[in-house]
C-alpha cells in the first residue's frame, strides 16, 4: 500500500493547474506533453511533481507573461497559430515561444515579425506621417505636426465607484472605503495615447485600436491623477452624471449604513 501511494505521488494528475505570472490556467497533462522536447514536455514528463515550483495553492508556477501564455497553450492543443486582428505582441510572443522551446511556433512568429518590420520600413520611408498614424515610433526633434493632433479628437469617459459607511448617524464617524476601480471608456487608440502604461487592458486585451471599449481601467485609484493627465493632453470636462444608493450592512436598522456612489465624467478634446 505504501508503495502504491509513493508511486501515485510521483505521477502528475490528468488535470493540471498552472499559475503563469499570476494568471491561472487549467489544462490536461497530455496537452503539456503534446510537443516533444519542449520545456513543458521536459517539466511534466522528465521530472516528478515534487521537483517543480508551486504557489501557495499547489498550482505549478511559471514566472512568465501570463497574458501571452494563452497563445502558447492554444498552440499546444492543436499545433496551430491563431492570433487576433491588430495583435501587436508578436515579438513578445516570439520570445515566449523561444523560452518554452517551441521551435515550430518560434519559426512561424519570426516570419510574421520579419514581415511586419519590412512593411514598417517601407511605410516610414514613403510617408512618415502615415507611419505615425499607424502607431509607429518615429524620432523627431521638432514639434508635433498640428495636422496629426487635429485627427486625435474624441471623447473619454472616466467612471468612478466608491463606498463609505456612516456609523449610527454620527457624521464624524464616516469611514471611507477604497475605490474599487477607475474605468476608462472610449476609443482604444485614444485611451492608450492619453494614459499609456498606467492603463490596464487585461479585461479587453484584443481590442483593435479603432474600436471602442468600456472595459479598461487605471492602475491607480486617485481620480485627480486621471484628471491631471487629461488636462495635460488638452481634454476638458463637458458632462458629469452621478448616482447613489444606501443600504444597511445587515438586517438590523441600528447597524451602520453603507452608501455607494457611481459617477461618470465625460471629457472631450476638440
pLDDT score of 155 more than 50 = yes
Whether residue 99 has pLDDT greater than 90? yes
Strand order in the sheet with 60-62: 23-28, 15-20, 60-62
Sign of the torsion angle spanned by Cα atoms 233, 237, 241, 244: positive
Biggest distance spanned by C-alpha atoms of the chain:
79
Give the per-residue pLDDT at 18.
Answer: 96
Residues 109 and 9: their CA atoms lie apart, in Å, by 38
Between 164 and 206, the more confident residue is: 206
Of 12-16, 223-227, 250-254, least confident by mean pLDDT is: 250-254
To 10 degrees, what angle do helices 188-195 and 223-232 make? 100
The predicted model gives 86-101 an average pLDDT of 91
- pLDDT of 222 reads 85
Number of H helices, E strands in the chain: 10, 10
What is the rounded CA–CA span in Å between residue 101 and residue 137?
A: 31
**Weakest mean pLDDT among 14-28, 59-73, 192-206, 216-230:** 192-206
Enumerate domains of the chain plus CATH numbers. 15-119 (3.30.710.10), 154-167+176-269 (no CATH)
Q: What is the mean pLDDT of residues 37-61?
A: 95
pLDDT at 154 over 70: yes
Where is pLDDT greater, at 152 or 237? 237
For the stretch 219-246, pLDDT in tens is 888 889 999 999 988 999 999 998 877 7
Q: Strand, coil or helix: what is 163?
A: strand
Is 139 a residue whose pLDDT tops 50?
no
End-to-end CA distance of the chain: 76
Is the confidence at residue 258, as pLDDT, over 80? no
Q: Average the pLDDT over 107-129 and give the result.
A: 68
Q: Which three cell numbers stand for residue 1?
A: 500500500
The per-residue pLDDT for range 168-180, each reduced to its tens digit, is 554 555 555 555 6
Q: At what angle do helices 69-78 and 90-99 cross, to 10 degrees?
A: 60
Q: Cα(192)–Cα(213) distance, rounded to whole angstroms?
A: 11
Q: What is the pTM of this model?
A: 0.47
Amino acid at each position: 500500500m505504501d508503495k502504491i501511494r509513493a508511486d501515485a505521488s510521483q505521477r502528475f494528475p490528468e488535470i493540471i493547474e498552472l499559475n503563469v505570472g499570476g494568471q491561472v490556467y487549467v489544462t490536461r497533462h497530455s496537452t503539456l506533453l503534446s510537443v516533444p522536447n519542449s520545456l513543458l514536455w521536459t517539466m511534466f514528463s522528465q521530472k516528478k511533481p515534487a521537483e517543480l515550483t508551486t504557489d501557495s495553492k499547489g498550482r505549478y508556477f511559471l514566472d512568465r507573461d501570463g497574458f501571452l501564455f494563452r497563445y502558447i497553450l492554444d498552440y499546444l492543443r492543436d499545433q496551430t497559430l491563431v492570433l487576433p486582428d491588430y495583435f501587436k505582441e508578436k515579438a513578445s510572443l516570439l520570445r515566449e515561444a523561444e523560452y518554452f522551446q517551441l521551435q515550430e511556433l518560434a519559426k512561424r512568429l519570426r516570419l510574421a515579425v520579419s514581415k511586419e518590420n519590412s512593411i514598417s520600413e517601407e511605410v516610414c520611408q514613403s510617408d512618415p506621417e502615415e507611419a505615425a498614424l499607424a502607431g509607429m515610433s518615429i524620432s523627431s526633434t521638432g514639434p508635433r505636426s498640428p495636422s496629426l493632433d487635429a485627427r486625435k479628437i474624441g471623447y473619454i469617459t472616466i467612471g468612478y465607484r466608491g463606498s463609505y459607511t456612516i456609523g449610527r448617524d454620527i457624521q464624524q464617524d464616516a469611514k471611507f472605503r477604497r475605490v474599487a476601480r477607475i474605468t476608462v471608456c472610449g476609443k482604444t487608440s485614444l485611451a492608450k495615447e492619453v494614459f499609456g502604461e498606467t492603463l490596464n487592458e487585461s479585461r479587453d486585451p484584443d481590442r483593435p485600436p479603432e474600436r471602442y471599449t468600456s472595459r479598461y481601467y487605471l492602475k491607480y485609484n486617485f481620480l485627480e491623477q486621471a484628471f491631471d493627465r487629461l488636462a495635460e493632453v488638452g481634454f476638458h470636462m463637458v458632462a458629469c452624471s452621478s448616482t447613489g444608493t444606501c443600504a444597511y450592512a445587515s438586517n438590523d436598522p441600528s447597524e451602520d449604513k453603507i452608501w455607494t456612489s457611481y459617477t461618470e465624467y465625460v471629457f472631450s478634446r476638440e
